[in-house]
Chain A
Amino acid sequence: MQLQYFLILAAALFCIGIFGLITSRNAVRVLMSIELLLNAVNLNLMAFSNYLDPAEIKGQVFTVFVITVAAAEAAVGLAIVLAIYRNRDTVDMEQFNLLKW
């Protein structure tokens, strides 16, 4: 097992997350894609921490923070989705295009 494979896996996960982020019509799925992105980042941090910094493992500390912040972000994100849903009765991203030209 090498560092590169972890990094490539994380990059693939990041790309999948990006694809989901940009193409999903459901707002909850967008939030889920963001979670994928954050988890890809966490994978990177853990891999670097394991292979490059096994003594002080700063990457793992970063990962703990990222997970924490991601949880908070998901909570706020879901709250926003709920708030929009209450007003507009939909979570379709393509219905939220009021702020255009």
Chain B
Amino acid sequence: MIQYLLDTIWLVPCYALLGGLIALLWSPGVNRVTGPRPAGYANLVMTFTSFIHSALALTGTWNHPPQEIFIPWLSTAGLNISIDIEVTSVNVAAMTVLCGLNFLAQIYAIGYMEMDWGWGRFFSLLGLFEGGLCCLALSNSLFCSYVVLEILTLGTYLLVGLWFSQPLVVTGARDAFLTKRIGDLILLMGVLGIYPLAQTWNYTDLAQWAQTANVNPTIISLVCLALIAGPMGKCAQFPLHLWLDEAMEGPVPSTILRNSVVVASGAWVLIELQPVFSLSPFVSGAIVAIGSVTAIGASLIAIAQIDVKRCQSYSVSAYMGLIFIAVGTQQDEAALLLVLSHALSAALLVMSTGGIVWNSITQDVTQLGGLWSRRPISGLAFIVGALGLIGFPPLGSFWALLKLADALWTTNPLLVGVIIFVNALTAFSLTREFGLIWGGKAKQMSERSPEVFWPMVLPMVILAGFVLHLPLILESFSLLPSWAVLNKDVALLLIWSSIFGVSIGGVIYLGDFIPKPVKLPLQPLQNLLAYDFYTPKLYRASIVLGVDLISKLTDIVDRFVVDGIVNLFGLISLGGGEGLKYSNSGQTQFYALTILLGVSLLGAFVTWQFWGDEFMNLMSASVSLLPQ
């Protein structure tokens, strides 16, 4: 039974895609009778099926060698593209997490999207995302991963643009598509560039090739730089990070998935490609640099946001930056562990605050407050999520961060500093969110705020349970480092940084000592962080401006030069006809003159040989006779 499920593991993405297709049957244009709800239920059933399938299959992968499946796709002269699937416990576990999170997010969506008619579209896109992410988790080929990444980019465009009657949604979806698309396109350059070098797109073969590869360092650096551009866009790393901020215009249930798993799809590809990146020390350095800058910058920005969804989206960018650091320093396992713990915690955080937004309307944290006594479940879920995200033993991210920091402790203490700093900043920012939403006195918008109903609370509580149990699960699979070989200094530093961040946040935002809203002594700095380093202006002043100017110039060239030259020929012919018709003067004598001229010229031409030379001599003689 388990073996059968393992052999048919490729069905898991198919269930989700099928669910997505079925959901379309309840689009308002197709089915005008039942209303949209069956779309959600059908999708939920399919997602549950895929969750059960992958969870059962997961038990079969344990202590089994990796199993590879090749499905031929396209075969032309000199190129065979097959869909490579690798069934390892990591891949199947990733799928289980994906399906589980999707299942919970879909239950949540059934509650959250209560008053919405667009279930058909929404759930079909969720199905597309689940299917795509499962494909990505299974895929063992860079080419297939690229295909899925592009489909997911299109999916993001459609999902962010769900409520397309809102102007900010339209611009947000546009930016999300274009930004990720640029990353994906540069990734395509890398994908195409690595084939002549390695002759394969299979991750396993690539890793083998990378062990003994002897290539020009410049070439491999350029190829690898192109390969990180895709994950950079996907993971919302600097400078391709603005889209995640604007993608927060989409509905909350999709935000749950985006913050937890969709952005991790880039990190997944990055982790798979890590052996290739290790070929070039320069690229590893670049990955670490991008990750560090993003981690610090985004966690600083997250502190200065007043929109709760944006506070969290920047924390996501920061944690993806930590994953970049992990990949750049060849810490695959720490990166995977961080992806897992971050996915669960980030999803829980969005679920908790999404419930607040659902019936307190505003997303502005400065207008919320005093919800602890009335929203204890959401508050507890937020606390669990926050503690699961920062380095707080014994919850998940502590072990991931510890593993990462421990490995870097001797080789690169500066990066440990970055990790600790980001951890403290994230702890501070999450405490700030908690203090502003749940602490303090109730404000007008949160005056009457009942706890949300069960479809939103249930997944939140289940997920909180998972976050709490994650260390136990990891322990049982012996994935946790043993306490004996641990670097206690790093562990203490991490814990202290968390405590430090939380307590400062608590003092500022839960205490009454500092007037709210908090003003930094340096107002420009506060604005700089609140407007995320003025990234939209930077985009508009650099890339957008450049492309805009060039396209306008091209348009002018097209309109006036290319078109003009062709039209000029027409105009000349027209003008020629219009001008030359005046040679038909209507004067008979003029016609006689032209006939005479024609005859004389023709005659002169024909008889030139008999008298021409003599005539010319005569002319030159007469010219020389002229008075000088």
Contact = CB atoms under 8 A, between A and B. Distances in A.
Interface of A: 18, 21-24, 30, 93-94, 96-101
B609 interface: no
B549 interface: no
B596 interface: yes
Interface stretch (B120-128, B205-213, B402-410, B584-592): B584-592
Given A21-B592, A100-B586, 9 more contacts: A18-B596, A22-B592, A22-B593, A22-B596, A23-B589, A93-B589, A97-B585, A100-B585, A101-B584
Nearest to A23: B589
Given A18-B596, A22-B592, A22-B593, A101 B587 contact: no
B: contact size bracket? 10 to 19
Interface in B219-251: none
Closest 10 CB pairs of A and B: A100-B586, A97-B586, A101-B581, A101-B584, A22-B589, A22-B593, A99-B586, A97-B587, A100-B584, A100-B585
A30 B588 CA distance: 11
B54 to A, nearest CB: 86
A24 B592 CA distance: 12
Contacts of A94: 587
B611 interface: no
A99 B584 CA distance: 8
Given A18-B596, A22-B593, A96 B582 contact: no
Interface in B543-592: 581-582, 584-590, 592
Given A18-B596, A22-B593, A93 B588 contact: yes
9 contacts: A18-B596, A22-B592, A30-B589, A93-B589, A96-B586, A97-B586, A101-B581, A101-B582, A101-B584
A68 to B, nearest CB: 23
A62 B589 CA distance: 28
Contacts of B587: 93-94, 96-97
Contacts of A98: 586
A97 B588 CA distance: 8
A23 B596 CA distance: 14
Contacts of A23: 589
Residue among B581, B585, B589 with the most chain A CB within 10 A? B589
A99 to B, nearest CB: 5
A21 B592 CA distance: 8
A99 B586 CA distance: 5
A18 B597 CA distance: 11
Contacts of A24: 589
B584 A21 contact: no
